[in-house]
Chains A and B, each alone.
Chain A
Amino acid sequence: MGNAMGTDIYTLGADIGSAASKCVILKNGAEMAASTVESAGAGTGGPARAFEGVLAKAGLRREDIAMITATGYGRNSFAEADLVISELSAHAIGAAAFFPGVRTVIDIGGQDAKVLRLTEAGVLDNFVMNDKCAAGTGRFLEVMARILELDVTQLGDMDGKAEQSAGISSTCTVFAESEVISQLAKGTPIPEIVRGIHESAAVRTASLVRRMNLVLPAAVTGGVAQNRGMIRALGQELGCELMISPDSQLCGAYGAALHAYRKAGQ
């Protein structure tokens, strides 16, 4: 192991959310040595599995890790952590590393949506988060996928097959649910309904972005970033290109690991 030779520094970031736990190990603050995603969050066995899993994948032991930073909803109950930072700061650090020069980061997670403004130097400068309403978050898409008997990961492909949009006007999860059901009853093709759902969620997310004033370039992170249909709808609504990364789901954990690396060096 590099660490055994005493030259490499490994740090770990743990993003303990309410619905998922994610861990990233960074080598020398640059190279992602390993990552894990467990779909169980704070208060479950998820955090421990994500943590042990990431160590096993990297072939490291706890003692090999120079510093651990936890973030996310369950950050304060994650006993392995040396440091704790808010998920906003963690996402900002992660996004600045994933997308150098990015000024606006739209993170759509399971239960919340947030828009971060970064300075030119890549430092978090301000942010807005959704209010108590679930509209515009990943949960909205999950509920809609369930009614359509789809897995949430299929939504992007489905959207690509649509020739037009079914027009779902409600942003409220409960109201949109009944709109979707009546579209189904009318025989509207599923891809069109999916596109309508994405457009509805995009309108809601775009209004959050506008509360911050959009400064480009902009990127999308969080699980929803993998959904091409949603990215297309949001880009259209905002009238701009949106950057995404295949690791976007790991942005918070990556930022936490990078934070740990910077602190380890101090």
Chain B
Amino acid sequence: MEEKKSAKVILRELQDKIAQDVWDAKNRGEKIGWCASNFPQEITTAMGIQVTYPENMGAAVGAKGGGQRMCEYAEGMGYSNDLCSYSRINFAYADLKECAEQEIPMPDFLLCCNNICNCMMKWYENLALELDIPLLMIDIPHLDKYTCDEDRIRYIRAQFDDCVRQLEEITGKKMDWDHFREVMDVSQRSSRAWLRAIASMSATPSPFSGFDIFNNMAVACVGRGTVAAAEAFEALADEYEELAAKGETTFKGEEKHRILFEGIACWANLRFTYKALQSRGINLTASVYGPAFSFLYQNMDELMAAYAYVPNSNCFERELEMRVKDAIAHKVDGAVFHMNRSCKNWSGNLYELERRFREETGVPTVMFDGDQSDPRVFSEAQYETRVEALAEIMDERKRAKEAQA
């Protein structure tokens, strides 16, 4: 009898399959695209168009130790080291067309969406020029208000329809709107399951080591419109809920403290950043990646709005609220903020976000310098000192609380 696979294994296999599908399509002579991580995946999934994500490649290359080499190569081409390291790795790859750590097929078109940042726009514009291929853009303006209003929805919708028309022309594939609605439903299933998996972290102890989110989110990002992904996330959520019900966890050691980790992981220093926390009994139980890759909507208009609510596109108060709610629901004792030198959009308001977060939750926080894929910006000693001091403060508070009780 075949043993039941764990959700983790299913997700990893699914991730490999998604990557292979793009290569297969390319080899069959189909037109494939490079796509921004928060581009509405419902379009490409419904049209059966294969795309791959340079940001995910940037993360993988960073995690496997190629980030510095690729970034330095891009800087040698004349790109500023102030640019996002995902873009630098991608510029290097677009020129070299090879990379020992991971390769993706070269694109025939580009799908850009600037709801995460405007760096994205110049990055893709540049690729379009360099590779001489079409660039399709969905412009989602930064939300300066709390809610996405009618005008914005209409503005996004018009581009949405135009993008589908252009994709039909480029790829020769037709949009089937009935199938589109099915993909919407499946995406909802995935998103709800992903959120259910994340919500299980409110249990004490949290049923899993929070750094696992960083591994699982790749599929949440790219594959959530497929039934296979929905099933995988449902299996993941079931597993976590089962563990939580039994009071068990995959976190190694006693969960002494729980934290919110703000920002993208330092892929190149993932082990170090994890170990410094885990060795002190600190588990990650809140991260904006939970809500970041779940898009909840009931209809087309809500779908448009959902893409305007991605964390980086939001007004400050909504950004803050998302973190504070998450931190309270998942009972954190502290927070670690990653001042990510790559991501200006994310880091620009981080000092204020940290200050307000601290005020509203009352928990101690620390901030460290780093970068998602360029290890030159990260200092082990700086990180270690901050985490150690945070652990001491959390220890002290716990002692005082226990003494009071």
Question: Is the C-beta of A10 less than 8 angstroms from some C-beta in chain B?
Answer: no
**Contact status of A88 and B369, CB under 8 A, knowing A211-B355, A213-B355:** no
Could you list some 30 contacts between A and B, CB below 8 A? A73-B381, A73-B385, A86-B392, A87-B385, A87-B389, A88-B385, A88-B389, A88-B392, A89-B392, A123-B396, A124-B389, A124-B392, A124-B393, A124-B396, A125-B393, A126-B358, A126-B393, A127-B366, A128-B367, A129-B366, A129-B367, A129-B386, A131-B339, A131-B367, A132-B369, A132-B377, A132-B379, A212-B355, A213-B355, A213-B359
1/0 contact trace for A71-97 toward B, CB 8 Å?
001000000000001111100000000
Question: Is the C-beta of B388 less than 8 angstroms from some C-beta in chain A?
Answer: yes
Q: Which of A89, A131, A132 contacts B389 (CB 8 A)?
A: A89
Cα separation A128 to B335 with both chains bound (whole Å)? 13
What residues of chain A lie closer than 8 Å to B40, measured between beta carbons?
none
Residue ranges of A at the interface with B (Cβ–Cβ < 8 Å): 73, 85-89, 123-129, 131-132, 211-213
Nearest-CB residue, chain A, relative to B392: A89
1/0 contact trace for B371-399 toward A, CB 8 Å?
00000010101100110110011001000
Are A126 and B365 neighbours in the complex by a CB distance under 8 Å? yes
What residues of chain A lie closer than 8 Å to B396, measured between beta carbons?
123-124
Interface centre among A123, A125, A126, A211 (most CB of B within 10 A): A126
Q: Which of A73, A85, A126 contacts B364 (CB 8 A)?
A: A126
Cα separation A125 to B394 with both chains bound (whole Å)? 9
Cα separation A17 to B339 with both chains bound (whole Å)? 24
Other A-B pairs, 8, CB within 8 Å; known A89-B389, A123-B396? A73-B385, A85-B392, A86-B388, A86-B389, A127-B389, A129-B382, A211-B351, A213-B355
A243 nearest CB across to chain B (Å): 22
A206 nearest CB across to chain B (Å): 14
Cα separation A128 to B308 with both chains bound (whole Å)? 32
Nearest-CB residue, chain B, relative to A213: B355
What residues of chain B lie closer than 8 Å to A123, measured between beta carbons?
396, 400
Cα separation A63 to B120 with both chains bound (whole Å)? 63
What residues of chain A lie closer than 8 Å to B382, measured between beta carbons?
129, 132
Cα separation A100 to B381 with both chains bound (whole Å)? 31
Question: Is the C-beta of B354 less than 8 angstroms from some C-beta in chain A?
Answer: yes
Interface centre among B354, B379, B382 (most CB of A within 10 A): B382
A262 nearest CB across to chain B (Å): 12
What residues of chain B lie closer than 8 Å to A127, measured between beta carbons?
364, 366, 389
Cα separation A73 to B377 with both chains bound (whole Å)? 18
Cα separation A128 to B364 with both chains bound (whole Å)? 10
A142 nearest CB across to chain B (Å): 20
Cα separation A143 to B336 with both chains bound (whole Å)? 32
Cα separation A211 to B393 with both chains bound (whole Å)? 18
Interface centre among A85, A123, A129, A213 (most CB of B within 10 A): A129
Cα separation A80 to B377 with both chains bound (whole Å)? 32
What residues of chain A lie closer than 8 Å to B366, measured between beta carbons?
127, 129
What residues of chain B lie closer than 8 Å to A132, measured between beta carbons?
369, 377, 379, 382
What residues of chain B lie closer than 8 Å to A73, measured between beta carbons?
381, 385
Nearest-CB residue, chain B, relative to A117: B364
Nearest-CB residue, chain B, relative to A133: B369
Nearest-CB residue, chain A, relative to B341: A132
Are B385 and A86 neighbours in the complex by a CB distance under 8 Å? yes
For the complex of A and B, 4 pairs with smallest distance between CB atoms: A88-B389, A86-B389, A86-B388, A132-B369
Cα separation A89 to B400 with both chains bound (whole Å)? 16
A84 nearest CB across to chain B (Å): 9
What residues of chain A lie closer than 8 Å to B355, measured between beta carbons?
211-213
What residues of chain A lie closer than 8 Å to B385, measured between beta carbons?
73, 86-88, 129
Cα separation A2 to B63 with both chains bound (whole Å)? 57
- Contacting A at CB under 8 A, from B308-339, are 339
What residues of chain A lie closer than 8 Å to B351, measured between beta carbons?
211
A239 nearest CB across to chain B (Å): 19
What residues of chain A lie closer than 8 Å to B388, measured between beta carbons?
86
A183 nearest CB across to chain B (Å): 29
Are A211 and B354 neighbours in the complex by a CB distance under 8 Å? yes
What residues of chain A lie closer than 8 Å to B359, measured between beta carbons?
213
Nearest-CB residue, chain A, relative to B378: A132
Are B392 and A125 neighbours in the complex by a CB distance under 8 Å? no
Cα separation A212 to B354 with both chains bound (whole Å)? 10
Nearest-CB residue, chain A, relative to B399: A123
Nearest-CB residue, chain A, relative to B352: A211
Cα separation A73 to B389 with both chains bound (whole Å)? 12
Cα separation A89 to B396 with both chains bound (whole Å)? 10
What residues of chain B lie closer than 8 Å to A212, measured between beta carbons?
355
Nearest-CB residue, chain B, relative to A132: B369
What residues of chain A lie closer than 8 Å to B392, measured between beta carbons?
85-86, 88-89, 124
- Contacting A at CB under 8 A, from B263-317, are none
B322 nearest CB across to chain A (Å): 21
Cα separation A89 to B385 with both chains bound (whole Å)? 10
Interface centre among A85, A127, A212 (most CB of B within 10 A): A127
B152 nearest CB across to chain A (Å): 33
What residues of chain A lie closer than 8 Å to B386, measured between beta carbons?
129
Cα separation A207 to B377 with both chains bound (whole Å)? 22
Cα separation A86 to B366 with both chains bound (whole Å)? 13
Nearest-CB residue, chain B, relative to A76: B384
B261 nearest CB across to chain A (Å): 17
What residues of chain B lie closer than 8 Å to A85, measured between beta carbons?
392
Cα separation A191 to B377 with both chains bound (whole Å)? 37
